[in-house]
Amino acid sequence: MGVSIFIQQVLNGLTLGAVYTLIALAFSLVMGILGILNLAISEIFMIGAFVGFSLITAGVPVWIALIGAMIAAALVSIVIARIGYEPLRNANHITPMLSTLGFSMILQNLATNTWGSDPMQLTLEGWLETRFSFGLVSLSVVQIVVFVVTVGLCVLTALLIQRTDIGRALRAVAENREISRILGVRPRRMILVAFALSGLLAGAAGVLVGLHYSVITPYIGVEIGLKAIAVMIVGGATNIWGALLAGPLIGILEVLTVAYGGAAMRDFVVYGFMIVILLVRPQGLLGGSSKTSGGRV
Amino acid sequence: MLSSYQAGLVADGSILLLGALSVYVILSTGQLSLGNAGFMAIGAYLSSWLTVSVGMPLTLAIVISAAVSAVFGLIIGFPALRLKGLYLAMATIGFGEIVRTFFLNFEPTGGAGGFSGMEHVPLWYILGWTVFTLGCVMVTERTRWWLEIRAVNDDELAAGLVGMNTTVTKLMAFMTGAAIAAVAGALFAHQTLYIEPASFGFERSTEFVLAMILGGSSLAAGSIVGAALLILLPELLRDFVDWRIAIFGALLVAVLLVRRQGVLDRNLFGLARLWRRVN
């Protein structure tokens, strides 16, 4: 009995952690490459959830809704890059972060006015409803979808960053904007690519959260998005695989805290863990030397 | 004479001004704190507990809360010496959330149900604290210590090389900011007469930052303009009440794009002085 409940909790934690991983990856794409914290990502994620929700409710197949939400989120992200980041890129790193804070206020207000601030309920039909039971432990199809999409997107992102010309150009801009320009990379375009990629990931995370919880509110951005920042820090902002490790870690930690310590303790534990990591190992679990992470911020 | 509604607006504005000031002192050393609502919560809860449960006079309770909050500022300031820029901002977000969830779980002060029983303070008392604190910061702006703060902001390495103790300067700034935020929290608690953890979330911290950036982040007087803007704009834009937050967000982006230093800055005062001399 005790063991199966524990396994069930770990599975639920992994599902939550998968969502954290995607949002943390969205944060770290912009943070690692441009050295700015795009606070609007948490609200882009929320917008993605609502777009996906609306499409599914309108009868669109889940896969298409997922892609639609990702594209919508990427477009929002590109707008933020053009208005909120590009003109401010020569200012100190705090200024572009504040402008993304402005955008997150706009996006949240937009969502409360468009979809209302009451929770939105989704009823899943057909194959998505299925649950597999192994004794007392059960795994839903939705959870499997969350795992598959998360791992798939992480692998795609890693391949894109490490194996393609776009990835090389992104990393060149991250290393030195001016020299990469001299060598023929277009930094402005690469910045848009980084923002668009991060929007795609955040939008996907939004749809997955909607499927998993089947209830969303305009405030999930602050609730879940802020915790993804903690995941990014714990994993290491400059390493893609850091988010894939820290996401499930924090997801499991959080779910176990809820199960054994009380629901109100969860944020306490997660942010406490983040601060301990910041003090002991500021570059994160999988970050490089502290020198490289210190130089960029 | 002010109606009670107008008096409430002035009180809210004063508390917001103090919050903006608490961000300003810390930002002057180049460190952004996105967790000042945490210090505000410490001030609000501690002072309320002291006045309600201990029966202490309010002024003494505020002084004690500010001192305790300053100690927390010191504790938070130490990691700040290792963390720079965005990492520090993220650590302060974590601090704010930790304080909020602490009070959410802390039953002696009501937990999620909140805490009440405070006595209402008159408006002049809130204004008195606000003018006093603002005055202190503006006087400090003219001292040698403030030059050190600005030196740390402009180039920390160079400031250290010419023999300034940048560690002490940064820690002092954090403690001062924490103390001011606690005063704001204490006044808030004795103005609204009911406090709950949800009052001190991330939105509150960002509101302070917003007021400070809009008003002018290079001088203390900017917080007056910022707080006034944030309180008066919703009054002027009643027809768009649903879009209040979005308007603030757009305003923040616009100010950052057009006039990064905020409405007020040092040059503006310089120009005014020049204008007077010419005429």
Q: Where are the domains of chain A?
A: 2-296
Residue of A nearest to B243 (CA): A109
DSSP tag of B118: P
- Mean pLDDT calculated for residue range A153-162: 90
Residue spans of beta strands (DSSP E) within B100-162: 115-116
Domain annotation covers residue B8: yes
Taken in order B54, B57, B60, B65, is the CA torsion positive or negative?
positive
Distance CA B189, CA B63 (A): 14
Quick one: residue B161, left, alpha or beta (phi over 0 = left, psi -120 to 50 = alpha)? Answer: alpha
Q: Of B231, B230, B219, nearest to B267 (Cα)? A: B219
Q: How confident is the model at residue B35 (pLDDT cuts 50, 70, 90)?
A: very high
The shortest C-alpha distance from B245 to chain A (Å) reads 6
DSSP tag of A40: T
Give residue B1's pLDDT.
Answer: 64
Q: At what angle do helices A240-261 and A266-280 cross, to 10 degrees?
A: 140
| Average confidence score pLDDT of chain A | 87
Give residue B89's pLDDT.
Answer: 87
ipTM, interface predicted TM-score of the complex: 0.85
Report whether pLDDT(B181) > 90.
Answer: yes
| B249 contact A CB<8A | yes
Chain B contact set for A91 (CB, 8 A):
260
B94–A31 CB contact, under 8 Å: no
Residues whose CB is less than 8 angstroms from the CB of residue A23 and which lie 6 or more positions away in sequence, other chains included: A41, A42, A45, A201, A202, A205, A224, A225, A228, A231
Looking at residue A30, its amino acid is: V
Report whether pLDDT(A3) > 70.
Answer: yes
| Average confidence score pLDDT of chain B | 89
Question: Which range (A107-111, B160-164, B202-206) has the least confidence?
Answer: B160-164
- Report which secondary-structure segment, H or E, holds A216: strand A215-216
Report whether pLDDT(A123) > 80.
Answer: no
B246–A222 CB contact, under 8 Å: no
- Mean pLDDT calculated for residue range B216-236: 87
Domain annotation covers residue B121: yes
Nearest Cβ partner of A226 from B93, B101, B111? B93
Helix (H/G/I), strand (E/B), else coil: B83: coil
- What does the DSSP assignment read for B99-128? HHHHHHH-GGGTGGG-EE-PPPPPHHHHHH
B208 close to B190: Cβ distance less than 8 angstroms: no
Distance CA B23, CA B140 (A): 15
Residues whose CB is less than 8 angstroms from the CB of residue A126 and which lie 6 or more positions away in sequence, other chains included: none
Chain B contact probe: residue of A47, A105, A223, A290 with most B CBs at under 10 A? A105
| B63 contact A CB<8A | no
DSSP tag of A215: E
Residue of A nearest to B154 (CA): A92
Helix (H/G/I), strand (E/B), else coil: A39: coil
Residue of B nearest to A294 (CA): B84
Chain B contact probe: residue of A34, A42, A98, A257 with most B CBs at under 10 A? A98
Report whether pLDDT(B11) > 90.
Answer: yes
- Mean pLDDT calculated for residue range A16-31: 91
Chain B contact set for A104 (CB, 8 A):
249
Q: How confident is the model at residue A294 (pLDDT cuts 50, 70, 90)?
A: very low
Helix (H/G/I), strand (E/B), else coil: A214: coil
Nearest Cβ partner of A113 from B79, B104, B243? B243
Distance CA A238, CA A7 (A): 32
Question: Which range (A15-19, A27-31, A122-126) has the least confidence?
Answer: A122-126
Give residue A106's pLDDT.
Answer: 94
Domain annotation covers residue B169: yes
Give residue A290's pLDDT.
Answer: 43
A297–B87 CB contact, under 8 Å: yes
Alpha helices (H) along B83-221: 85-105, 123-140, 144-154, 156-161, 166-192, 202-215
Q: How confident is the model at residue B131 (pLDDT cuts 50, 70, 90)?
A: very high
Report whether pLDDT(A291) > 70.
Answer: no
| B24 contact A CB<8A | no
CB atoms inside a 10 Å sphere around CB B200: 29
Pick the CATH number of A2-296 from 2.60.40, 1.10.3470, 1.10.60, 1.10.10: 1.10.3470
- Report which secondary-structure segment, H or E, holds A12: helix A2-34
B202–A108 CB contact, under 8 Å: no
B94–A108 CB contact, under 8 Å: no
Domain annotation covers residue B252: no
Report whether pLDDT(B2) > 80.
Answer: no
Give residue A225's pLDDT.
Answer: 85
Chain B contact set for A294 (CB, 8 A):
84
Domain annotation covers residue B55: yes
pLDDT tens digits, A224-247: 888 899 999 899 877 778 888 999
- Mean pLDDT calculated for residue range B239-243: 82
Nearest Cβ partner of A229 from B90, B111, B248? B90
Q: How confident is the model at residue A73 (pLDDT cuts 50, 70, 90)?
A: very high
The shortest C-alpha distance from A63 to chain B (Å) reads 31
Distance CA B226, CA B237 (A): 16
Looking at residue B177, its amino acid is: G
| B250 contact A CB<8A | yes
Chain A contact probe: residue of B98, B202, B204 with most A CBs at under 10 A? B98
Give residue for tokens 């601030």. Answer: A117
pLDDT tens digits, B84-97: 777 888 889 999 99
Give residue B103's pLDDT.
Answer: 93
Give residue B227's pLDDT.
Answer: 92
Report whether pLDDT(A289) > 70.
Answer: no
- Report which secondary-structure segment, H or E, holds A131: strand A131-134
Chain A contact set for B251 (CB, 8 A):
102
Report whether pLDDT(B25) > 80.
Answer: yes
The shortest C-alpha distance from A86 to chain B (Å) reads 10
Q: How many CA atoms lie within 13 A of A265 on its CB side?
A: 12
Chain B contact set for A265 (CB, 8 A):
101, 105
- Mean pLDDT calculated for residue range A151-170: 90
Domain housing B93:
4-201
Q: How confident is the model at residue A288 (pLDDT cuts 50, 70, 90)?
A: low
In sequence order, what are the beta bridge partners of B194?
B116
Q: How many CA atoms lie within 13 A of A17 on its CB side?
A: 25
B252–A102 CB contact, under 8 Å: yes
Q: How confident is the model at residue A280 (pLDDT cuts 50, 70, 90)?
A: confident
Structure tokens at B186: 């204490």
Residue of A nearest to B98 (CA): A268
**Total of domains in chain B:** 1
Q: How many residues does chain A have?
A: 297
B265 close to B219: Cβ distance less than 8 angstroms: yes
Domain annotation covers residue B238: no
Report whether pLDDT(A62) > 60.
Answer: yes
Residues whose CB is less than 8 angstroms from the CB of residue A174 and which lie 6 or more positions away in sequence, other chains included: A32, A33, A34, A35, A296
Q: How many residues does chain B have?
A: 279
| B29 contact A CB<8A | no
Helix (H/G/I), strand (E/B), else coil: B195: strand
The shortest C-alpha distance from B222 to chain A (Å) reads 17
Helix (H/G/I), strand (E/B), else coil: B265: coil
Q: How confident is the model at residue B177 (pLDDT cuts 50, 70, 90)?
A: very high
Domain annotation covers residue B210: no
